[in-house]
Structure 1
Amino acid sequence: MDLWETPVDILAKAAKASWPMLARTTGAQRDRLLDRMAEALIEHASDIQAANAQDLIAGEAAGLSRALLDRLALTPARLSEAADGLREIGGLPDPLGEVVSGWKRPDGLEIRQITVPLGVIGIIYESRPNVTIDAAGLCLKSGNAVVLRGGKEAIMTNRAVATVLRGALADEGLPPDLLQLVGRPDRSEIDQLLNLHGDVDLIIPRGGKGLIDHVVKNSRVPVIETGAGVCHIYVESSIEVQTAISIILNAKTQRPSVCNAAETLLISRNAAETHLVPMLQALQGAGVALRGCSETAKRFPSVTPAEDADWETEYMDLTLAVKVVEDVDAAIDHIRLYSTRHSEAILTRDLRAAKRFQQEVDS
């Protein structure tokens, strides 16, 4: 059977059957594996880039936004960074075999809590194909087999990357089945993966709110719930205008498609008097589309009026929601209501406000 047509339940069983060989490896062996994987990615960079070009062409034809195409692109620089990331993971301390705690009972019985692998981890993610590399490296470093299910937009890139990484496993004398990629883009494969209790020991979803909610609601396998990225920046008048502009531009425009990009800008009423117009001018000059509350629209009429849905939207694009709030209390209240608990920031010189923000915002 073609590997990429293999049903997910068979892939998971093969990973589970192969896992004992990984469990017997030493930390040094797993680190050598990660180093070999990094080498293999560079050796086969042209094949991976050719596959990525196919995905990008298909994505353009399907009308993907510029931000989603950016998420999809695995440029030579990004591939090199991903390879370096594998080497960095290999350089981390071995997480296995650590004695977390221990004690001796009066009858002489010694008890130890020792870190061990989980077994087989299923990771479900969306467009970014570099996650295939990162996730595989982290799982294998920690002694776990992995079943990867990426987005359909990156199917050719993910297949090429998985082929290279599976080859590196074979080079190191380990079963390639320790790393499985669900090669079929059928969404029903996700639900099948969520029901593989016994063959898969943990599910980790990475992506938008809809994906994460679906996994949490439907999985029979334990889930580590990650957060979608509705991230906020709150600005007070004590911060210098140019400092605020520099930080906000970086947070919104450097990589608007990643999950820690800013999606909502909150401005205190005092700061709105001096900061709002120059900040929004800078953002518009950088190509950012603005969705503003009624007060923002009064001060800066070229914004699009915000709707309620804008405050809970992860745009993953050059779009930013903007709201004037009374003070730090109102900013915290807004964040509590709409945040996905990923990342938030306060721009202020007031240490009391900064401390309150740190204490009361639980992202």
Structure 2
Amino acid sequence: MNNYSQLFKRTKEAARKLIRVSEDQIGEVLARLAELLEEKTWYLLEENQKDLDRMDVDNPMYDRLALTEQRIRGIADEIRAVGQLPNPLGIRLEEKVLSNGLYLEKITVPLGVLGVIYEARPNVTLDVFSLALKSGNGLILKGGSDAEFSNRAIIQLIHQVLREFEFPEQAFLLLPPDREATKALLEAVDVVDVIIPRGSQGLIDFVRQNAKVPVIETGAGIVHTYVDESADLEKAQAILLNAKTRRPSVCNSLDCLIIHSAHLPNLEQLISPLLEAGVEIFADSVAFEVLKSHPEISLATADHFGTEFLSLRLSIKTVKILEEALDHISRYSSKHSEAVIAENQGVIDRFLLEVDAAAVYANSSTAFTDGAQFGLGAEIGISTQKLHARGPMGLRELCSYKWLIRGNGQIRG
């Protein structure tokens, strides 16, 4: 623990130097990192394969862990995009002159040192680094053992680029994937300014319950889509298929289809693309009566609602009115992403107003809940809480603010 304490203090001291770095220099570092990732794709794939070889291919986390040439190119493009975004620091949020002549200015500043704890997603290492650097924050990364080889390879390339540009590489630290490191990070009061967990609900709960450092919760998505009586079924069919099957292992994928009972005669047609894609369905008793001839459809139990499947699994809940759909979402939602498919504008307006989630959609796939898709370049996570940040977190969400007060000898009576 003492060794970690010294490491963290060095990270904090190195991070103080980042505020002096120019926007142009940061852009050059990120452009060079993106270039190096593409040059070293073969190396990253080799190291990633070592991690993949240790994981069962049927594990829902396997897809999250896997790197491909296409995914590495996509990550490189996102890093370039972050480099080209406007500087989030020094933005004047408010200014005023008091009656005594004091000039007050409120400006954006870095949070300080970020601690990020995550599971089998090596892309997080790169996304978080690019956002932390651009926003002037130091970074302590604690990846999971499932991605150990991948994360080590990535941090090696990051540090190589930082050395090339004479940046303080100690401001960006990767911890070993062991429990002692996790405990040290969660208790790093006065060194780490905020902890951000990315991963399963179990990980998020563990961090929240054990951290002595402030926490921003991200990640777990229990996602619903309500198909209203007024829905266009052709539109609904395409949206549901994309929301469930595009990448079933990610947090914005669909977990529960809520169907208005008026569509029960059309339910088989509605879900046929899902069945063709290999989706296993757990239907409530009403829907099951319509679908029971299909061997891949089972009668849902209570556990199938309020579950983040992270795989090709889906539950179905039948409702008679919008109010029942809203109640079901309120009971089971993780407040990540929720959607309605409807042509009735009154239903859409009420759903958008009343559903309590970070991202609420009308007639669209929830797969768009993503920092890059929202124009943030990349994301450090998707916050499901309400304090400080909510939804995809980009550069602005990694900033705090401070007041600058300029006077000319004023004293307070």
Tell me the TM-score normalized by structure 2. 0.83
Of 79, 82, 102, the residue aligned with 1:89 is: 82
| Deviation of 1:185 (Å) | 2.1
> Aligned residue pairs: how many?
354
1:290 matched residue in structure 2? 281
2:388 matched residue in structure 1? none
Of 96, 100, 108, the residue aligned with 2:101 is: 108
Distance 1:27 1:225, change over 3 A: same
Q: Deviations over 1:324-343 (max 9, x none)?
A: 11221111100000000100
| Deviation of 1:219 (Å) | 1.2
Task: Say whether 1:267 aligns with 2:259.
Answer: yes
| Deviation of 1:282 (Å) | 2.3
Q: Secondary structure at the match of 2:305?
A: helix
Equivalent residue runs for 1:143-158 within 5 Å: 143-158=136-151
Q: Is the 8 A contact 1:82 1:133 kept in 2?
A: yes
Of 224, 230, 244, the residue aligned with 1:232 is: 224
Q: Is the 8 A contact 1:124 1:150 kept in 2?
A: yes
CA distance in 2, matches of 1:152, 1:65: 18
Task: Say whether 1:172 aligns with 2:165.
Answer: yes
Q: Deviations over 1:90-131 (max 9, x none)?
A: 111100111111112222221111111111100111211111
1:138 matched residue in structure 2? 131
Equivalent residue runs for 1:181-260 within 5 Å: 181-182=174-175, 184-260=176-252
Q: Secondary structure at the match of 2:61?
A: helix
Of stretches 103-112 and 8-17 in structure 1, the one that deviates more from structure 2 is 8-17
Q: Secondary structure at the match of 1:355?
A: helix
Q: Is the 8 A contact 2:232 2:341 kept in 1?
A: no
1:49 matched residue in structure 2? 45
Amino acid at match of 1:297: F
Q: Deviations over 1:217-269 (max 9, x none)?
A: 22111111224110001112322322211111111011000110001110011
Q: Secondary structure at the match of 1:115?
A: strand
Q: Secondary structure at the match of 1:163?
A: helix
Distance 1:10 1:79, change over 3 A: farther
| Deviation of 1:180 (Å) | 0.9
| Deviation of 1:307 (Å) | 1.5
| Deviation of 1:71 (Å) | 0.9
Equivalent residue runs for 1:2-81 within 5 Å: 8-59=4-55, 63-65=56-58, 67-81=60-74
2:346 matched residue in structure 1? 352
Q: Which runs of 5+ in 2 are unaligned?
A: 358-413
Q: Is the 8 A contact 1:295 1:324 kept in 2?
A: yes
Amino acid at match of 1:259: C
Of stretches 109-118 and 233-242 in structure 1, the one that deviates more from structure 2 is 233-242
RMSD over aligned Cα atoms: 1.6
Tell me the TM-score normalized by structure 1. 0.94
Of 279, 284, 300, the residue aligned with 2:270 is: 279
Amino acid at match of 1:264: C
Q: Secondary structure at the match of 1:83?
A: helix
Q: Deviations over 1:34-83 (max 9, x none)?
A: 11211221122211111001111111xxx352532111111111111111
CA distance in 2, matches of 1:272, 1:222: 47
| Deviation of 1:30 (Å) | 1.6
Q: Is the 8 A contact 1:227 1:340 kept in 2?
A: no
CA distance in 2, matches of 1:80, 1:227: 24
1:312 matched residue in structure 2? 306
Q: Is the 8 A contact 1:146 1:179 kept in 2?
A: yes
Q: Is the 8 A contact 1:227 1:341 kept in 2?
A: no
Q: Deviations over 1:311-352 (max 9, x none)?
A: 111110000011111221111100000000100111111111
CA distance in 1, matches of 2:327, 2:4: 43
CA distance in 2, matches of 1:9, 1:153: 25
Amino acid at match of 1:285: E
Amino acid at match of 1:358: L
Q: Secondary structure at the match of 1:340?
A: coil
CA distance in 2, matches of 1:7, 1:239: 59
Q: Which runs of 5+ in 1 are unaligned?
A: 1-5
Q: Deviations over 1:173-193 (max 9, x none)?
A: 1121121111x2223422221
Task: Say whether 1:332 aligns with 2:326.
Answer: yes
| Greater than 3 Å deviation, 4+ residue runs | 6-11
Task: Say whether 1:300 aligns with 2:296.
Answer: no
CA distance in 2, matches of 1:27, 1:224: 27
